[in-house]
Amino acid sequence: MGRFLVVDVTTGDYEIADEDLEASERLLKRRPDALLYDQPIGEPGRPSARIGGFRMAYSSDVPRC
């Protein structure tokens, strides 16, 4: 299983943890106003990114009308 990298895009400060929420909470404890970018690392085939705590949808994830 991979880990998660969470970066404050404003300062470059970061945390790495087994769970994305754990890394986010540790970083927000140090930098309460951080704008976060979240990326799984160490496990191929898990495309995912979060900015500011919201998961970004990829085009294949967006429902079509």
CA distance 43 to 59: 21
Mean pLDDT of 28-54: 76
Whole-structure pTM value: 0.65
CA distance 61 to 19: 22
Q: What confidence score (pLDDT) does residue 49 get?
A: 54
Comparing 32 with 59, the larger pLDDT belongs to: 32
Mean pLDDT of 3-12: 93
**Is residue 19 within 8 Å of 1, Cβ to Cβ?**
no
Q: What confidence score (pLDDT) does residue 42 get?
A: 81
For residue 25, the cross-strand partners are none
Mean pLDDT of 18-37: 93
What stretch of H or E contains 28?
Answer: helix 20-30
Query: Is the pLDDT assigned to residue 58 strictly greater than 60?
Result: no
